[in-house]
Structure 1
Amino acid sequence: MELLSFSVILLLASTNTVVRAQWTNERNLTVVEANQYLDNHTQLFQPPRIINVGDGIYCAFGYSLSNMIMIEGTTGILIIDTLDSADWATFVYKEFRKITSKPLMGIVVTHFHSDHFQGNNPLLEDAKNNGWSVNVYAHSSTAKIVAENEFTLPIRGLRSARQFGEYLSDQEKTNDGIGIDYKPSSKLVMKPLKVTHTYNERATFTVAGITFDLIHTPGETEDQTTVWIPSKRAVFPGDNIYQAFPNLYTIRGSPYRNVKHWYESLDITRNLGADYMVPSHTLPVLGKENVFNILTSYRDAVKFVYDQTFRYMNLFYEPDEIVEKVRLPQSLEKHPYLLEFYGSLDWSVRSVYNGHLGWFDADPANLNPLTKKQRAKKLTSIITIATMLKEARKSLDLSKDNLRSTGSHLNNELQWALELSKMVLDANPSTANELENATLIYREALRARASSTLSAVGRNYYLTCAIESEFGIKRIGPSNTLRYIFREIRSEVGIMMEYPLRFKAEFCDDKRPMSFLFDFTDSGNVYKYTIRNCVVDLEINPNQQGAPFDLKATMEFALWRGIVVGDTYIFSLGVQAKMKLEGQGPRWKNVLYLYKILHLMDRSGFLNDAW
């Protein structure tokens, strides 16, 4: 284990700044410069180490995407955030145990992102084995948001894999912007977040001889918690600040991140007057003036994006036009905490617009737009595919010529090549030659865009899409891991709540309401579904007295789960199966009705080998 002290942290922080050449806007970066900036940023996280921040505060840095922080009190230790996997949390916890053997008495989860609590379970299990009682603290909404997030797991999982470059080789990937790498557990685990102590806006707690405040500071997430330890003058702001431009919008997708709330929360944080700031990503910051100045610049950048986007919104500018208008002042653009390694100014502007005005940009031509495929078909009917591919290749070659002469790509030309080639692919060209040429240009444009992109996650996304194309993946779809998740990980309630979200309304008879119940003998829970106008409502443990139903199925939950994921075929179940069906008369009618219920559930990702 390598312990780094206060003076070494300052040296690292200053080195990370001075190794950079004079900063210029990303649009003018050469490919070599973009690579050098990202390589320098990667060096920030290497080697992984335990940093002795001071006054009993230790930060495990560079082991995975996020930090794990230990505060040593008089009678025990308090942990803030537990990384993105049980594997790495266990490893880091053993490193912490080389510093102190005091009992673990508290864990603070700063917010619902999985890279901040996936390591809770091994720490809690170790504490249980040692006979220690551990408090788990979080905002009152955090556990609920974790549970609700299960329902977007398929699409977020696939988009996150692109954002974090999970399929990229070590040669292709640099870093993940706010950490060296996202490292989920070798075996996926999705257990409910168990919290023992919650708060709403602000509360004071004492554990292990440490008195600390938990402050609700919505920013990157609405449940974000800032930890403040007055006796140490130490603040732990979670994900509201890190050494990269803030991720005001994440390309993996999320609900709107309220930018106004974010800068207001940074005001709360900077006015605490901390001597130490230990974020949950990137390096700790030390010194009252240094902490305040960094927080101020970060806050000002966030507010600048918000204010200037609003300015142009109210002048009736469209999103594309606002993106061209909003540019950070040089004092912020050059700041080492505001380089676009993670978030992007352009993405942020679009997010503020969409967050306050929605998807419609006020142009009537976009009120009911054609689909991508319809537009592509229309264009290729008046402009030949050969002409479109010729123009795409021309733009790509112009950018490559500029790269050879100046070291820089022409991003507008690359973007045009990318859009034209994608449009041809959307039109589904009829000849093999056109398809091959469009695909090659598309891949080449993606890789060229990646090479001139400073954002690590933007680069990862471009490169991953290029790899998907090279593997013949035309459209992302449910992963095979989804079947494993439903079979091994998802809770009973979580699986039963999926039915309305997976209901195949196109096969529903809107003139025939349905009502059916599942009574699980192993858990004692009853789930009642009512379908009306092809809308499914679910009641859990309803009052059943006198309530009519079309079918009631009594069985163990494990049996129904096996049927849902395709392990068990309904019609192969004999009369000896531990499943009681009632409501339709003869057993064969009940079985057919149960099959109808199952058929109305979209089980894509369970029953096929789609990527």
Structure 2
Amino acid sequence: MLTKDGCKQLRDFTEKNYKETISEVAEGVWFVLGAGHSNAVFVETDFGIILIDTLDTLERGEKLLGIIRQNTGKEVKTIIYTHGHPDHRGGAGAFLESRPEIIAFEPKCAELEKADLLQDIQKLRGTRQFGYSLTDEEAVSQGIGVREGITHGERRAFVSPTTVYRQDTVTREIDGIQVEMVRLPGEAEDQIMIWFPQKEVLCCGDNYYGCFPNLYAIRGGQYRDIAQWIDSLDKIMSYPASCLLSGHTAAVLGHEEIKRTLGNFRNAFEYILIHALEGMNAGKSAEQLASELSLPPEYAELPYLVEHYGCVEWTIRAIYTAYLGWFDGNPTNLHPLSPGIHSKKMTALAGGAQNVWKTARKAMEEKEYQWCLELCDLLLSNDETACGEALLLKARALERIAEYETSANGRHYYLEYARELREKNKKG
């Protein structure tokens, strides 16, 4: 979302919500917030520790091991991954000395075949989304936590699970502690929740954030089934939890507060999904819906639904593509002109490249940064008018518009792309 003080909002949100905190939220249940990009939970048993997620790097995993030993004097005997994202399992290598069982679930739906052919573009877009080459000052935050350790030269140390479950629910007793693990697809296909009935503690992984989540990730990827995510939230709310521990935000305490918070989170998703589908059914395009549809104030003003990570309009476009595909129903768009031909004709219609340049520079001066970006793209798509000046003007507009972006992901993408354009211009 673009707003006048977007960068300040993001900075304030980060400073308030991700201070390092180690707390015993229930007897023998410890919650580690802000020590890594993701959170960790450790539970004391008669003979050792059950660890939920391991932070994002080896170095942070080693720090977590020290925290566990300092508070309990025990070793990690069991590790449970809430899902397979690297920021939750990258510290696992720090715990190998105690030879723990490492538990995970197999993804519910397989990745699209041949998806590995996209590894280069997804790596590039992932770097842009997460701002991996930006300084801390440029990046501000990663929206859902402190920056990943790899941005400071640390390394990931993922360890493959030793136990992989394919069923939807697994109930076990681990060293005297009852544990129920339930498959709950949402942010990830292999996402699970972990319920400790004796403690009334529920670990929900990334199915709840303290801000608007990536219902669509701009780095690219398969559709995250929002209807299924809603079902997963309903399942979480059906448990009599007194403490909800998320993979990226502060604990939610008290059964009624958990139901209220998750209920609002869930209902916001449903509002977007239903209204997007209704608009699609009425013949509206993805761009129409993205410009018209927003969360009502009762959801948009909640601190845990602010767009500091994902974005409502990105979500709407993802829903449109998932349900109706790329075609917006307008036959004009069945066989559009190529970008190069279109830009030449539009440039001519505007009175020539000089007029486009003049308008683009004026847009920059008047802080109409999105309009400037679109005019730069018109020039850059036309081989006859493309030049280094257009690259630099677009880079400047990207850097300016980034200051309006409330989403860490959007901010990073603007700044990373601007850096790429400046490097491209240097190389000629």
Considering the TM-score relative to the shorter chain, is it more than 0.5? yes
Q: CA deviation at 1:56?
A: 1.6
- Give the equivalent residue in structure 1 for 2:39: 67
Query: 1:143 touches 1:195 (CA, 8 Å); kept in 2?
Result: no
Relative to structure 1, is the Cα distance of residues 140 and 171 closer, same or farther in structure 2, using a 3 angstrom cutoff? Answer: closer
- Give the equivalent residue in structure 1 for 2:132: 166
Between the aligned partners of 2:295 and 2:42, the Cα distance in structure 1 is 36
Relative to structure 1, is the Cα distance of residues 314 and 57 closer, same or farther in structure 2, using a 3 angstrom cutoff? Answer: same
Between the aligned partners of 1:422 and 1:333, the Cα distance in structure 2 is 32
Q: CA deviation at 1:322?
A: 1.1
After TM superposition, the structure 1 = structure 2 runs for residues 241-256 of structure 1, keeping only pairs within 5 Å, are 241-256=208-223
Query: 2:10 touches 2:140 (CA, 8 Å); kept in 1?
Result: yes
Q: CA deviation at 1:219?
A: 0.8
- Give the equivalent residue in structure 1 for 2:4: 30
The residue identity in structure 2 corresponding to 1:122 is: A
Q: Which moved more, 1:225-234 or 1:155-164?
A: 155-164
Between the aligned partners of 1:323 and 1:120, the Cα distance in structure 2 is 40
Q: CA deviation at 1:385?
A: 1.5
The residue identity in structure 1 corresponding to 2:141 is: N
Are 1:119 and 2:94 an aligned pair? no
Query: 1:83 touches 1:89 (CA, 8 Å); kept in 2?
Result: yes
- Give the equivalent residue in structure 2 for 1:458: 410
Q: CA deviation at 1:80?
A: 0.8
- Give the equivalent residue in structure 2 for 1:427: 382
The residue identity in structure 2 corresponding to 1:49 is: T
- Give the equivalent residue in structure 2 for 1:486: none
Query: 1:112 touches 1:145 (CA, 8 Å); kept in 2?
Result: no
Q: CA deviation at 1:45?
A: 4.5
1:94 to 48, 63, 66: 66
- Give the equivalent residue in structure 2 for 1:397: 365
Q: CA deviation at 1:40?
A: 1.4
2:326 to 343, 359, 365: 359
Q: Which moved more, 1:242-251 or 1:56-65?
A: 56-65
Between the aligned partners of 1:253 and 1:57, the Cα distance in structure 2 is 36
Are 1:226 and 2:193 an aligned pair? yes
Instruction: Give me the TM-score of the superposition, normalised by structure 1.
Output: 0.66
- Give the equivalent residue in structure 2 for 1:276: 243
Query: 1:76 touches 1:209 (CA, 8 Å); kept in 2?
Result: no
The residue identity in structure 1 corresponding to 2:53 is: D
Query: 1:109 touches 1:136 (CA, 8 Å); kept in 2?
Result: yes
The residue identity in structure 2 corresponding to 1:330 is: P
Query: 2:103 touches 2:161 (CA, 8 Å); kept in 1?
Result: no
The residue identity in structure 2 corresponding to 1:417 is: C
- Give the equivalent residue in structure 1 for 2:182: 215
Between the aligned partners of 2:209 and 2:154, the Cα distance in structure 1 is 29
Q: CA deviation at 1:190?
A: 7.7
Unaligned runs of 5+ in 2: none
- Give the equivalent residue in structure 1 for 2:257: 290
Query: 2:144 touches 2:249 (CA, 8 Å); kept in 1?
Result: yes
Q: CA deviation at 1:98?
A: 0.7
Q: CA deviation at 1:325?
A: 2.6
Are 1:447 and 2:399 an aligned pair? yes
Between the aligned partners of 1:439 and 1:146, the Cα distance in structure 2 is 35
Q: Residue by residue, what CA displacement relative to the aligned partner does 1:17-56 show, whole Å, maximum 9, x if unpaired?
A: xxxxxxxxx55x323xx23321211213554232322222
| Equivalent position SS for 1:171 | helix
Q: CA deviation at 1:319?
A: 0.5
Query: 1:214 touches 1:227 (CA, 8 Å); kept in 2?
Result: yes
Query: 2:102 touches 2:160 (CA, 8 Å); kept in 1?
Result: no
Q: Which moved more, 1:213-222 or 1:193-202?
A: 193-202
Query: 1:468 touches 1:474 (CA, 8 Å); kept in 2?
Result: no
Are 1:325 and 2:256 an aligned pair? no
Between the aligned partners of 1:146 and 1:101, the Cα distance in structure 2 is 45
Q: Which moved more, 1:434-443 or 1:230-239?
A: 434-443
| Equivalent position SS for 1:98 | helix
- Give the equivalent residue in structure 2 for 1:373: 340
Between the aligned partners of 1:190 and 1:366, the Cα distance in structure 2 is 47
Between the aligned partners of 2:43 and 2:129, the Cα distance in structure 1 is 32
After TM superposition, the structure 1 = structure 2 runs for residues 383-394 of structure 1, keeping only pairs within 5 Å, are 383=350, 384-394=352-362
The number of residue pairs the alignment matches comes to 425
Q: CA deviation at 1:152?
A: 4.0
Query: 1:78 touches 1:208 (CA, 8 Å); kept in 2?
Result: no
| Equivalent position SS for 2:214 | coil
Q: CA deviation at 1:389?
A: 1.4
Query: 2:58 touches 2:155 (CA, 8 Å); kept in 1?
Result: no
Q: Residue by residue, what CA displacement relative to the aligned partner does 1:293-322 show, whole Å, maximum 9, x if unpaired?
A: 110100001111111111111111111111
Are 1:140 and 2:141 an aligned pair? no
| Equivalent position SS for 2:90 | coil
- Higher-Rg structure is 1
The alignment's C-alpha RMSD in Å is 2.5
Query: 1:84 touches 1:115 (CA, 8 Å); kept in 2?
Result: yes
Query: 1:298 touches 1:338 (CA, 8 Å); kept in 2?
Result: yes
